[in-house]
Copies of this chain bind each other. A is one copy, B any other.
Amino acid sequence: MYRSHNCGQLNASHINQEVTLAGWVQKSRNKGFLIWVDLRDRYGITQLIFDESRTDKAVFDLAATLGREFVIQVKGTVIERESKNPNMATGDVEILVTELTILNAAQLPPFTIEDETDGGEDIRMKYRYLDIRRNPVKNSLLFRHKVAMEVRNYLSGNGFIEVETPVLIKSTPEGARDFVVPSRMNEGQFYALPQSPQTFKQLLMVGGMDKYFQIVKCFRDEDLRADRQPEFTQIDCEMSFVEQEDIIQMFEGLASHLLKELKGVETGKFPRMIYDEAMKKYGNDKPDIRFGMEFGELNAVAQHKEFAVFNNSELVVGIAVPGAAAYTRKQIDELIEWVKRPQVGATGMVYVKYELDGSLKSSVDKFYDAEDLKKWAEVTGAQPGDLILVLSGEAYKTRTRLSALRMELATRLGLRNPEVFAPLWVVDFPLLEWDEDSQRFHAMHHPFTSPKPGDIALLETDPAAVRANAYDLVLNGNEIGGGSIRIHDKATQALMFKYLGFSEEQAKAQFGFLMDAFQYGAPPHGGLAFGFDRLVAILGGQETIRDFIAFPKNNSGRDVMIDAPSVIDDKQLDELHIRLK
């Protein structure tokens, strides 16, 4: 027993007790005849006091040698503090130390172990074990654990069974790039790491498991964008004998449970929006509805005038930015430059200031009079004091650009409060999306997603119009979960593979086991997967996932702490029947 209590436990009720504590030296203050040490562990900080007049000399002298992050054990008496600290759980007391043992000395850490550290991203990743000592990271990992426990309690309580599916599976060319694992025992062959347990969970439904879930690592060998990880965690779920409504009810229940238990937030019933509406209103299939700035389509009121730019555009669309009529010319020019950045890609932007006195001034006064602009204000819902910003061009791209602008403005205006939670179901996604590169349709969700039964006939005539039984759960502008009702009969699945450009042989080679399974009594089924890293980060009020992952990799897929990946022995390569190119 290294300790009788932890460093967050002692308070006035323990005064006069003899205790043993162990932990890290957060800091010490030496006033010559008095030394204070803040002793830290996972649970808190307790103040130690060494008093020249009351402490054994050897102990006092040893205390004077303690450096930051030394690991020590102390015995002593809990006494009342002279100057209490009401901000600390242990702030009423301190320990008058009688015995001190240095369990492990410490070098000076390469950055300060404080909430606000002086360490940059790179050095903190290299010494991640020190970064984890800092409250922001430590608390994020504790929070992640709590979320996982609540997820399991909710799902298990609702009859779901956690089943572990294999990590060493089969590579398929569909979807993102696989990580592969050469097989030693099967020469020339490779396992793949799962991008998701999709086919296995469907097979569990064929196997009658009825309600499955798993908090599970998944893998994608993609070029890493910011805040993407090559290995990530999903809450993977599937249910049998369900329709879309059953799934939405169940997982709205889960999300509500998490918001209530972890954030104390009661959201009520989640709103729903069809995909087409989300694109029209927000230019985005995962709209952040914590704030307004809904799109107003201006074709009817802005075209057929003298302004060729608008007349030649498929779509003219604007938003009203609340209170922004007061922006200076310089501020507005900066916004125009912002939308012209390559990441956004607009070629220009029209603005209208709707002044508080009701007058309207625009950058296109040459073409539009006050009557015209009044109509724009009506369509965009602008109020006096607002700034109307208008983009135009090809419809899809223009919506996407205006969406980026809307999000940027909301951030600038402080409308994206991380402690406000606005969930939203987006439903009726298209089944297919056209891919310019390969000049064919791809599955928008994945090839196992069921088309809406009424739309199946459209597969022949208008594939882009086929809607899927697919749905996303959006929280604060992030897709936190997505899923679909699956195809459960061989004929429809074969048809789907055909429309996706698979030959019969390819479909059989890659997914024959699934289509076979469908012949032995597959129930109707569907499911959903949450991105767990993202879900935890958003619930934790953060924008980035990195602090919610104990040992993340950098943007080159490297773990800079352990220095992986790394070269391996020729002997290992030999055994695996491969060599380097």
Q: Which residues of A contact B (CB under 8 A)?
A: 1-3, 6, 22, 24, 40-43, 69-71, 73, 103-107, 109, 127-133, 138, 141-142, 144-145, 148-149, 152, 156, 161-171, 173, 177-186, 188-193, 199-200, 203-204, 206-211, 217, 219, 221, 223, 230-231, 233, 241-243, 245-246, 488-489, 513, 517-524, 549-551, 553, 556-559, 561-569, 572-581
Contact = CB atoms under 8 A, between A and B. Distances in A.
16 contacts: A24-B521, A42-B208, A71-B522, A71-B524, A127-B520, A141-B161, A141-B209, A144-B164, A164-B550, A170-B562, A180-B568, A185-B223, A186-B565, A189-B566, A203-B561, A578-B578
Given A129-B203, A130-B206, A578-B579, 15 more contacts: A2-B242, A40-B208, A42-B208, A71-B521, A103-B523, A106-B521, A168-B219, A170-B564, A179-B181, A179-B191, A180-B181, A189-B565, A513-B562, A574-B581, A577-B580
Most buried by B among A1, A568, A580: A568
Most buried by B among A128, A168, A200, A223: A168
B567 A188 contact: yes
A183 to B, nearest CB: 4
Contact of A559 (B22, B166, B179, B557): B166
B217 A167 contact: yes
A551 B166 contact: yes
A576 B180 contact: yes
A71 B2 CA distance: 60
A520 to B, nearest CB: 5
Contacts of A168: 179, 219, 230-231, 553, 557, 559, 564-565
Contacts of A520: 69, 106-107, 109, 127, 129-130
A132 B169 contact: no
Nearest to A186: B565
A513 to B, nearest CB: 5
Contacts of A549: 164
Contact of A578 (B199, B556, B581): B581
Given A178-B572, A207-B133, A243 B556 contact: no
Most buried by B among A22, A128, A245: A128
Contacts of A161: 141-142, 145
A251 to B, nearest CB: 16
A166 B559 CA distance: 9
A133 B1 CA distance: 49
